[in-house]
Amino acid sequence: MAKLIRVPDDVEAPLLGCIYFGIIDRGTNLLQVRPTTLCPLSCIFCSVDSGPKSKRRLAEFIVSPDYLLEVFKGVVKVKGEHGIEAHIDTVGDPLTHPKIVDIVQELASVPGVEVVSMQTHGALLTEKLAEELAEAGLSRVNLSIDALDVELARKLADTPSYDIKRVAEVAEFIAKSTRMDLLIAPVWVPGLNDAEIPRIIEFALKVGAGKRWPPLGIQRMEIHKHGRRPKGVKVMSWYRFYKELRELEKRVGVKLVLRPQDFGIHKRPRIPQVFKRFERVKVRVLGPGWFKGEKLGEARGRAVTLIGAHHVKEGATVTATVIEVKDGLYIARA
């Protein structure tokens, strides 16, 4: 079982530099906010091996709302205090954080934040919680409904208790809200839920999703080395994926090929990088990493993921070679 680590109570880790928790700046006005790594589902296509059936995760992380807000405010000042979207899109499910309503409320109150959005599969969502999130200032729910067929939905989620009918009821409730928008975001798993995609599109339009933003954001299934791959499923090429979406657009008469501009996303100054690729640095080891063989470290005020670190002891300071710096996410080889 993975160890649950509270940040900063158990580990005083920086909230910049790490892909699995904290804040990610990809050079736009949208900031990814990741307060938790926990997930109630074990989706068979999960690219990050989330959920109770994970075989690779060594630790799970949950971040203090106060600490998260403190760092977020600092990042917003660098980005510019206007037109900011705070997008809560964890490598698990945001609703697993016990203070998620407080987090939404605090993010919405930060000067310059105009949109607070959230990505979820909705397994923990209720009408009451949806209402609380709307009151707290949540602008949009990106709800991942991957199938409307009950058995297929459970198969894709690899969770017998997953109730897609209940999720659909809450989706309809959200769509009727005057304060919060709904975007349905299915993951297209070739060969498994092909026939469900048109049904999901019809459902989104029927319930009234997309009052302010597009009603649908269909996602291509991705495969990563640490994730899950459904048996017999072949990943669609980007060319085929967009070709299929454009054909669907003609049939249903709704925009499915989306651009950043559809959500008001535009370029903004980045948080300055503190490392260069292939640079050798001293890294202080804070604790276990996300996956087996990894450690969580800190250097120059940034979180660093140490790979090849089976032998590295917590509390040690080691020399490591930085091998990844993209989007201010730092990976180093011990």
Q: Is residue 219 part of a domain?
A: yes
Based on the domain organization, do 41 and 130 belong to the same domain?
yes
> Could you tell me the CATH number of the domain that includes residue 250?
3.20.20.70
**Domain extent for 308:** 280-333
Residue with the two structure tokens 């600092």 = 74
Question: 89-139: per-residue pLDDT in tens?
Answer: 999 999 999 999 999 999 999 999 999 999 999 999 999 999 999 999 999
Q: Is residue 183 part of a domain?
A: yes
Based on the domain organization, do 178 and 232 belong to the same domain?
yes
Q: What is the pLDDT of residue 309?
A: 87
Q: What is the pLDDT of residue 261?
A: 96
Provide the H-helix boundaries in the chain: 65-79, 100-108, 127-136, 150-157, 164-175, 196-207, 238-252
- Alpha carbon separation from 110 to 74, 77, 104, 281 (Å, rounded): 10, 10, 10, 34
Cα within 13 Å of Cα(73), Cβ side: 10
Measured distance CA(171)–CA(143) in Å, rounded: 8
Asked whether the beta carbons of 184 and 171 are under 8 A apart, the reply is yes
- Asked whether residue 62 carries a pLDDT value surpassing 80, the answer given is yes
The token pair at 97 is: 């954080």
Q: Which helix (H) or strand (E) element contains residue 37? A: none
The token pair at 114 is: 């105009």
Q: What is the pLDDT of residue 34?
A: 98
Count how many domains the chain has: 2
Question: 220-267: per-residue pLDDT in tens?
Answer: 999 888 889 898 899 999 999 999 999 999 999 999 999 999 999 999
Based on the domain organization, do 225 and 302 belong to the same domain?
no
Q: What is the pLDDT of residue 51?
A: 95
Residue 285 pLDDT grade (very low, low, confident, very high; cuts 50, 70, 90)? very high
Based on the domain organization, do 306 and 254 belong to the same domain?
no
Q: Is residue 301 part of a domain?
A: yes
Of residues 225 and 276, more confidence is placed in 276
Based on the domain organization, do 18 and 75 belong to the same domain?
yes
Phi and psi angles of residue 280, each rounded to the nearest 5 degrees, phi first: -95, 130
- Average pLDDT of the segment spanning 200-211: 97
Measured distance CA(276)–CA(325) in Å, rounded: 7
Asked whether the beta carbons of 136 and 177 are under 8 A apart, the reply is no
> Could you tell me the CATH number of the domain that includes residue 305?
2.40.50.140
- Average pLDDT of the segment spanning 5-32: 96
User: What is the pairing mode between strands 22-25 and 30-34?
Assistant: antiparallel
Residue with the two structure tokens 């938790």 = 36
Residue 37 pLDDT grade (very low, low, confident, very high; cuts 50, 70, 90)? very high
Measured distance CA(208)–CA(251) in Å, rounded: 18
Q: What is the DSSP string of 287-302?
A: EE-SBTT-EEEEETTE
Asked whether the beta carbons of 145 and 217 are under 8 A apart, the reply is no
Q: In percent, how much of the chain has pLDDT > 90?
A: 92
Phi and psi angles of residue 213, each rounded to the nearest 5 degrees, phi first: -120, 170
User: What is the pairing mode between strands 113-120 and 59-63?
Assistant: unpaired
Question: 175-189: per-residue pLDDT in tens?
Answer: 999 899 999 999 999
Which of 263, 294, 314 terminates a domain? The answer is 263
Mean pLDDT of the chain: 96
Q: In what order do the strands lie in the sheet with 140-143?
A: 22-25, 30-34, 84-88, 113-120, 140-143, 181-184
Does the reported pTM lie above 0.85?
A: yes
Cα within 13 Å of Cα(276), Cβ side: 1
Q: Is residue 272 part of a domain?
A: no
Based on the domain organization, do 213 and 288 belong to the same domain?
no
- Average pLDDT of the segment spanning 40-65: 94
